[in-house]
Amino acid sequence: MRGATLRDVALLAGVSARTVSNVVNGYAPVTERTRLKVERAIAELDYRPNVLARNLANGRSGQIAVVVPYLDTPYFAELLQAIIPRAREHGYNVLVDQTDGDPEHERELVRRGARGVLFDGMILSPLGLAQEDLSDCDPTLPLVVLGERTSDGTFDHVGIDDVQASREATRHLIDLGRRRVAAVGDQPYPTGEAAQLRTRGYRLAHEDAGLPVDESLIVRTPRFNRADGSRAMTRLLDRPDPPDAAFCYSDLVALGALHTALDRGLRVPEDIALIGYDDIEEGRYSNPTISTVSPDKEAIATTAVDRLLRRMTGTTPLPGVEVRASHRLIPRQSTVGRPS
């Protein structure tokens, strides 16, 4: 059965097709009486505007890209679940790509964005590209950068205060009386900016408490996943002086560390307390549940889409804006134990 067209709506409402278009797209003001007539006709005919055709007529694809390092990381999956409906509200479909942290793939996607190929704008969580790589890009690109990294103001950047959040997570463990707190997830290389910020927060928490940092308790991991967390905890527990707590740089790292600690017969949190980062759903259902730093993913998603639309529709280049979403520390069983 043929769907209703814009002309069908115009005929039923007794107005011109241009007037219907103005009501649908908000291009020009119409009287309240006319707008109501058109909206009634749209509802009666169940008219659905052809967003793709409209975008193509305006030289747009109607697509935005969201590019993340790994789709098997729950944090990114949960973030996408918040980004996609926000983009749909504005008539955009979302294309998703995984880079595996490959700098050439990330660079090529940015080039496509510059040429307007396949999508009209991009939300990028880079892993392979360092800040200086993005600094060399055309500042007029419709690009919003996610993640906990420093920004030079070229593009809009949306994240949380990673140093402060990590400081709070470490201080939580210290305030519980733990004195040998490990840091699991350090990545001291150019693309490990998020990890470096978390290490900085870890150090500041020790400085706040007047405690020295045992450098040997800062453990590097290639990724923020379960296997890396498990291997790191194995190394820590094989020491003659193992830690009594660990700040893990993601909830996945914490879950891997938890697995190994329990497998060794340790009690969590009595023998070793663990706190993670990201507040993924899995951490709320582990046994014990994982204490965590919870970024406001809804605010990050909404802000990223809104900032991207501003860059896509602006008639003049916009300066990059640094947007900090809120975060909160959520103590759970892995640090404070079960309620008595």
Dump pLDDT digits (tens) for 217-252. 999 999 999 999 999 999 999 999 999 999 999 999
Asked if the structure places residue 112 within a domain, the reply is yes
Question: Does 276 lie in the same domain as 259?
Answer: yes
Same domain, residue pair 276 and 308: no
Bin 41: left if φ > 0, else alpha if -120 < ψ < 50, else beta.
alpha
User: Using H for helix, E for strand and C for coil, what is the string for 79-141?
Assistant: HHHHHHHHHHHCCCEEEEEECCCCHHHHHHHHHHHHHCCCCCEEEECCCCCCHHHHHCCCCCC
Q: How confident is the model at residue 115 (pLDDT cuts 50, 70, 90)?
A: low
Cβ atoms of 290 and 274 within 8 Å: the answer is yes
Domain match, 174 and 291 both: yes
CATH code, domain carrying 275: 3.40.50.2300
| Domain-located, residue 266 | yes
78 and 37, same structural domain? no
In what side-by-side order are the strands of the sheet with 245-248?
218-220, 181-186, 245-248, 273-275
Task: Say if residue 285 is in the same domain as residue 167.
Answer: yes
* Domain membership flag for residue 310: yes
Identify whether residues 221 and 266 lie together within a single domain.
Answer: yes
The domain total for the chain is 3
* 138 and 181 inside one domain: no
Is residue 156 located within the same domain as residue 301?
yes
Judgement on whether residues 289 and 186 belong to the same structural domain of the protein = yes
pLDDT band at 192 (very low <50, low <70, confident <90, very high): confident
Do 133 and 192 belong to one domain?
A: no
Which amino acid type is present at position 135?
S
- Domain presence at residue 207: yes
Looking at residue 84, what is its pLDDT?
A: 94
Of 135-144, 155-164, 273-282, the least confident: 135-144
Same-domain pairing of 155 and 209: no
Checking if the pLDDT of 266 tops 90, the result is yes
In a domain, 42, yes or no: yes
CA distance 291 to 273: 9
- Residue 180's identity, in one-letter code, is R
Please indicate, yes or no, if residue 128 is contained in any of the structural domains.
yes
- Counting residues of the chain whose pLDDT is more than 90, the rounded percentage is 59
Greater confidence, 280 or 140?
280
**pLDDT reported for residue 19:** 87
Within a domain: 73? yes
The pLDDT value recorded for residue 252 is: 98
Please check whether residue 10 is in contact with residue 17, taking contact to mean a CB–CB distance below 8 angstroms: yes
Domain that includes residue 167, residue range: 162-295+329-336
**What CATH number should be reported for the domain holding residue 40?**
1.10.260.40
Pair 169, 283 in one domain? yes
Average of per-residue pLDDT across 116-120: 73
The answer to whether position 56 is within a domain reads no
